[in-house]
A and B are shown apart, each in its own frame.
Chain A
Amino acid sequence: MALFRSVRNIACLTRQCSRITAVNHQQRKGVADMAFTFGCPGEVFYNEAKVKQVDVPALSGSFGILPEHVPSLAVLKPGVVTVFQEDGSSSKFFVSSGSVTINDDSSVQVLAEEAVPVDRLDPQAVREGLAKAQQDVNTGSTERAKAEAQIALECYENMAKALEH
């Protein structure tokens, strides 16, 4: 008698378990996967990869992109792009400029003019570049030279900030 009851319980439990797994499966299918493409003209870091989240530094402010984000276009400013992979680990890349596209099928393309992993940045070179850019801003003769120096300065400042973290 006890055996029969326990067998019935087990059957109920397995039925419930299978229902739960079916619901989970449905939920996972509902969320579209993000096809993430990230690269610069010389190197491609992610090509239609599945990642959990991407943080981008845009001109209008930094924001994070998850799957099923609202479609949008944005322009990058010098800063760090952080990619959170499926297994939880994150990678940081420094980008100089570029564009971000989020399409309605949840595909994300981050195209950078120049992008390097942050661990490839050399602190000494960044310090020297920062000092030189500072000088150029002060001694710039034409508007254009001043603007170019200002852009370089902003870039180096952000690089230094990226290295600090």
Chain B
Amino acid sequence: MFSRVVKNLSPQCVIQARNMATLKEISVRLKSVTNIQKITKSMKMVSAAKYARAERELKPARSYGRGARAFFEKAEIERDDKQPNHLVVAMTSDRGLCGAVHSNIVRKIKHRLAEQPTGVSTKIVVIGDKARTMLARLYSKDILVAFNEIGKKAATFSDAVIIAESILDLDYEFDLADLYYNQFKSVVSYKTTTLPLYSLQSISQAEKLNVYDSLDEEVLRCYNEFALTSLIFFALKECATSEQSSRMTSMDSASKNAGEMIDKLRLTFNRTRQAVITRELIEIISGAAALKS
């Protein structure tokens, strides 16, 4: 299409117009890529600072989470996969540009829901807007409750309390529950794992519970509420650390890629500029030569 338009104009105009338009295009592109590099560099620094803080807060949270899990591990509560009502809690956040952190969790959940055996119904509790938008397309009727405003500020115990309260207040009686979160391993790696959550019923039915002395209904209920909150808090901290480290590495590679693009564009820009100057010189000189002769 462009070549057809070009044939109507005189040759000189055509060549000059094409080169100058390309020169301007390249400079516009160069400016925009430089801006993007500045943005990704600053995002990397911000997430590096947030990562340092999150990792610091993760250390006590890890011991806390281990302590909270100790009872459930030692009581050896049974988990039967064939029970009909399952609950899945997806822990992500509201913000993107952090690599594959959110999509890993959603992929595992989609896989589980697609492969669930007949007779098993699974409902979803979604933490963070990212998982909500990703799951809403296929499983919007299975999402029971969604939380947002996660990820902007560091997670506190009160956030975990709000989440735990609403899980326990759900009308849906679940037999089996899994919390999908990203376990932080190092700056460059994390692992998407599940944490088993237990309902009051499954704890009271555990055989080993008789070993534990002087338990009544009230104590068990309070204990379960607090344990659930502790586990959710632990998972929030792990997810936050994984997300910040992932964002740091992806913004770092984005800045590097932008840097490479800038180098290439600058070379092309200089070459094009020199070509334009050479063309102008040729025209002037050939015009002058034509006049002389």
Chain A interface (Cβ < 8 Å from any Cβ of B)? 37, 39-44, 47, 59-60, 70-75, 97-99, 101-105, 107, 109, 111, 113
| Alpha-carbon distance A37/B211, docked complex (angstroms) | 21
Please state if A73 and B223 are interface contacts (CB–CB under 8 Å).
Answer: yes
Question: Is the CB–CB distance between B215 and A37 below 8 Å?
Answer: no
**Chain A proximity mask over B57-68: 1 for CB below 8 Å, otherwise 0:** 101110110111
B223 in complex: contacting residue of A37, A39, A42, A99, CB < 8 Å: A99
- Which of B213, B223, B226 contacts A71, CB < 8 Å? B213
B interface vs A, CB < 8 Å? 57, 59-61, 63-64, 66-68, 70-71, 74, 156-157, 211-215, 219-220, 222-223, 226-227, 230, 233
> Which has the most chain B C-beta neighbours within 10 Å: A39, A73, A97?
A73
The interface residues of chain A lying within 8 Å CB-to-CB of B220 are: 73
- With contact pairs A70-B213, A99-B223, A99-B226 given, residues A39 and B74 touching in the complex (Cβ less than 8 Å): no
Task: Given A72-B214, A73-B223, A98-B226, decide whether A44 and B71 contact each other with a Cβ distance below 8 A.
Answer: no
Q: Is the CB of A103 within 8 A of B74?
A: yes
Query: In the complex the two chains form, what is the Cα distance from A2 to B63 in whole Å?
Result: 64
Q: Report the bound CA distance from A75 to B220 in whole Å.
A: 9
| A97 to B, closest residue via Cβ | B226
Q: Distance (Å) between the CB of A44 and the closest chain B CB?
A: 4
**A111 B61 Cβ-Cβ under 8 A:** no
A101 to B230, CA, bound (A): 13
A41 interface neighbour in B74, B157, B215, Cβ under 8 Å: B157
Shortest Cβ gap from B205 to chain A (Å): 15
